[in-house]
Amino acid sequence: MHAEEKLKRLVNIEVTQKKVLEIIETPEKVVNGYYGRKIAQGLISGSLILRIVYEDIDSEIVVVTVYPGERRRYE
């Protein structure tokens, strides 16, 4: 799955599956994405946030992708 492969590449900035789940459960912000998807975001360092694109399908969260971004860009 794309999100799992992406997590492997983000390990150097300490992005883990646990961190992804924490942000989905208690995001700093949630915005609407394309195709009915949601984007949850949460802080991973002083200047970086993690954005998580996901779908809620039959009350099950399906993570599409994750990516870091500069905090100032998304506030």
Alpha-carbon span 13 to 60, nearest angstrom:
27
- pLDDT greater than 90 at residue 3: no
Looking at the structure of the chain, the number of domains it has is 1
Q: Decide which of 65 and 12 is more confident.
A: 65
How confident is the model at residue 29, as a pLDDT?
A: 94
CA–CA distances in Å: residue 7 to residues 1, 22, 61: 10, 14, 17
- What's the pLDDT tens digit per position in 4-52? 666 656 656 677 888 889 999 999 999 999 999 999 999 988 888 999 9
How confident is the model at residue 32, as a pLDDT?
A: 95
Which structural domain, as residue segments, surrounds residue 36?
2-73
How confident is the model at residue 9, as a pLDDT?
A: 60
